[in-house]
Amino acid sequence: MSLPEIETDICVIGAGSGGLSVAAGAVQMGARVVLIEAGEMGGDCLNYGCVPSKALIAAAEKAQVVRRPRFGIAGTEPRVDFGAAKDHVRDVIAAIAPVDSQERFEGLGCTVIRAHARFTGPDRLEAGGRTVRARRFVVATGSSPLVPPIPGLDRVEALTNETIFDLRERPDHLVIIGGGNIGMEMAQAHRRLGCEVTVIEGATAMGKDDPEAAALVLRALRDEGVTIHENRKAERVSGGDGSVTVHTDAGDVTGSHLLVAVGRAVNVTDLGLDAAGVDHDRRGVKVGEDLRSVSNRRVYAVGDAAGGLQFTHVAGWHGGLVVRNACLGLPIRARTAHIPWCTYTAPELAQVGLTEAQAREAHGDRLKVLRAGFDENDRAVASGQRTGFVKVMAVGGKPVGATIVGAHAGELIAPWAMALANGLKLTAMTGTVLPYPTLSEASKRAAGSYYAPKLFDNPWVKRAVRLVQRIGR
């Protein structure tokens, strides 16, 4: 007996950050919503990405605090229970999971189908033996770890972010292919938990970030004992039980475990998009600035599936935009100039808008680069967190980008992200009174340096001040 066909307003494919944002927003605004997920509710971020990685980083940070002698407190080598650290990771996921659960979304009024979805036409798909017809579809399928075509890689046990958090025995020597944010975060975390770690990067490690800021991060990792090989191409992989060797163009690296962290592959290859008339390629669904398919206006794509920046917060933001458009008919534009990101190493590195190099290319002599070092910030000095700086790229009194490297950079980037999102001037920062002492004062100091020459090096200001002193009462 066939199951009855479902007719709905919005059908969401994928229960990660983007899909859940659409489903929760749309159903609470009165739309009929079907939510389809073949894997784990919460998607990559909750189960294999942001949440478990930050939980492991937190455990590693505690080990490092014990290890380092500071402030008159003796340091000692910590006794690390690697399995217990992974229990902490599981506990964190379990604590957050109810927010993303099937039960919660069914409670909100969504119809949840736990099966693989495949389009069978421009206005319908099949999932779990059901046919779903919808006025609007949202492809929110995210991405998976990219496994490069390195000879021999398929014949060894290679970890990815989807499997490394299940590893309960501490690796003696973790070899990581990939020097981006995931590779560097995992390198430092595992080193702090007692592993020997080697990173192999075919180009420049952290090459997408501001080079000056990235250099501080790489120096910190090397100082902690992480070996980082840059500009070394992994040509093949070999190994057996408990040993794996990465053969590079500049020598071999052998370890006990291998982590592949070279990027992400968008999950759009098995959705039947051709049957729906949805143009796509390996980067994702081809969409306009309104996140709608250029070839089938019934279909939206959000997050990684939209072919742009691959960040959880971008997917969530996309979801909110789609709700505005699909439910209220409001125009939307998914621009990216205000999108921040952060690498959660120690020191952290956060960026929003243009880097210095990008800003110089775009604005030339109009650009002013404003700086404030953490070594000049009283809170940073008092807490022993003097490594780092705030760098703001400004044009005509407005920020066009900000780079922060140092403690809590991911938190400190927030006002700059708000400034770029809302077109604020530097005066919004300089006119804000901040509590003393705080790390945030570094941002205010950087912003203030834009106006300092106009006030302190201007002969007309000095003449005006002298006049006021002569005639003032």
Residue 181 marked as a ligand binder: yes
Residue 373 marked as a ligand binder: no
Residue 180 marked as a ligand binder: yes
Under 8 Å between Cβ of 176 and 197:
yes
Residue 182 marked as a ligand binder: yes
- What's the chain look like in SS3? CCCCCEEEEEEEECCCHHHHHHHHHHHHCCCCEEEECCCCCCHHHHHCCHHHHHHHHHHHHHHHHHHCCECCECCCCCCCCHHHHHHHHHHHHHHHHHHHCHHHHHHHCCEEECCCEEEEECCEEEECCEEEEEEEEEECCCEEECCCCCCCHHHCCEECCCCHHHCCCCCCEEEEECCCHHHHHHHHHHHHCCCEEEEECCCCCCCCCCHHHHHHHHHHHHHCCCEEECCCCEEEEEEECCEEEEEEECEEEEECEEEECCCEEECCCCCCCCCCCCCEECCEECECCCCEECCCCCEEECHHHHCCCCCHHHHHHHHHHHHHHHHHCCCCCCCCCCCEEEECCCCEEEEEECCHHHHHHHHHHHEEEEEEEHHHCHHHHHCCCCCCEEEEEEECCEEEEEEEEECCHHHHCHHHHHHHHHCCCCHHHHCCCCCCCCCCHHHHHHHHCCCHHHHHCCHHHHHHHHHHHHHCC
CA–CA separation, 186 vs 60, rounded Å? 10
Other CB atoms within 10 A of residue 281 CB: 10
Residue 160 marked as a ligand binder: no
Residue 54 marked as a ligand binder: yes
Residue 185 marked as a ligand binder: yes
Beta bridge pairs of residue 281: 284
Under 8 Å between Cβ of 271 and 118:
yes
Residue 384 marked as a ligand binder: no
Residue 16 marked as a ligand binder: no
Name the nearest CA neighbour of 151 among 232, 243, 236: 236
Under 8 Å between Cβ of 303 and 18:
yes
Residue 183 marked as a ligand binder: yes
- Token duo for residue 293: 């398919």
Beta bridge pairs of residue 11: 34, 137
CA–CA separation, 124 vs 134, rounded Å? 6
CA–CA separation, 276 vs 298, rounded Å? 10
* Residue stretches of the annotated binding site: 54, 141-143, 178-185, 201, 263, 304
List the binding residues for NAD(+). 178-185, 201, 263
Residues making up the binding site for FAD:
54, 141-143, 304
